[in-house]
Chain A
Amino acid sequence: MAKTYQYCVAENWGKGFIEHSESQKITFRGYPANVWQVPAHNKNANVWINKVLGQVKTKDEAQALVDAEVTASQTAWDNNNAIDGETIEQKIDRIGERPQDITLEE
Chain B
Amino acid sequence: MATYKQIQGTAVQNYTNDPANPVKGQLWYNDTANSFKYSSISTTGSWSTGGDLNTARDDLGGAGIQTAALGFGGFSPPYQALTESYDGTSWTEVNDLNTARRTGGSNGTQTSALYYGGQPTPTGSIITESWNGTSWTEVNDLNRNLAYYLAGAGADNTSALAFGGGTDNPVPVTSETELWNGTSWTEVNDLNTARAELAGAGIQTAALAFGGDLLPGSQAVTESWNGTSWTEVNDLNLGRDRLGGAGTQTSALAFGGFNAPDFQTFYTESWNGTSWSTGNNLNTGRGEVGSAGSSNTSSLAFGGATPSQTAATEEWGAGAIITKTITTS
Contact = CB atoms under 8 A, between A and B. Distances in A.
Interface residues of B, number: 42
Contact of B58 (A18, A20, A96): A96
Interface string B71-102: 00001010000000000011000000000000
A84 interface: no
Interface in A61-106: 69-70, 72-73, 80, 90, 93-97, 99-100, 102
Contacts of B321: 21
B256 to A, nearest CB: 12
A42 interface: no
B52 A12 contact: yes
B265 to A, nearest CB: 11
Q: Is the interface of A mostly helix, strand, loop or mixed?
A: mixed
Contact of B320 (A24, A72, A94, A99): A24
A69 B49 contact: no
B306 A17 contact: no
A93 B118 CA distance: 11
Contact of B317 (A20, A32, A73, A102): A20
A95 B75 contact: yes
Contacts of A25: 322
Given A21-B320, A96-B305, 15 more contacts: A12-B312, A20-B315, A21-B322, A23-B48, A24-B42, A24-B322, A27-B280, A29-B284, A30-B285, A31-B285, A32-B306, A69-B308, A72-B308, A93-B119, A95-B75
Interface of B: 42, 44, 46-52, 58-59, 75, 77, 89-90, 119, 122-123, 258, 261-263, 266, 280-281, 283-285, 288, 305-308, 312-313, 315, 317-322
